[in-house]
Amino acid sequence: MLPQPGGGRKEYTDEQGKVVRVYEWFGYKAHLLVDAKHEVVLAWQITSAEGEGTGDGSVLAGLLEAARQLLPGGGCRRWRTTGRPTRWMPTGC
């Protein structure tokens, strides 16, 4: 079952405080943990587009645990970050 969709609004202003750009969003966020080498999704989670617990860092532990259950031998014990944007890569598999 999907969570309730959510939204938000971000306004960008100039030096005088006048709004020069508005960015609005509504809906969901799809969080994916993928094996980039083999182009396979290992784990996924759908959250609301707003609110606590919807950031990538908030769902990462659950995605890693789900991926560990799919990988041979219980998966990797360690993960490291690489580059920008942040990518999580298995080490010691």
Nearest to 28 by CA among 58, 12, 9, 51: 51
State how beta strands 78-82 and 87-91 pair. Answer: antiparallel
Confidence of residue 91 (pLDDT cuts 50, 70, 90): low
pTM of the model: 0.61
Task: Give the pLDDT score at 16.
Answer: 96
Q: What are phi and psi of 14, to 5 degrees?
A: -90, -170
The mean pLDDT of 8-24, rounded to a whole number, is: 94
Which tens digits make up the pLDDT trace of 31-76? 988 888 788 888 999 988 887 767 777 888 888 888 888 777 665 5
pLDDT at 85: 54
| Sequence spans of domains, the chain | 6-88
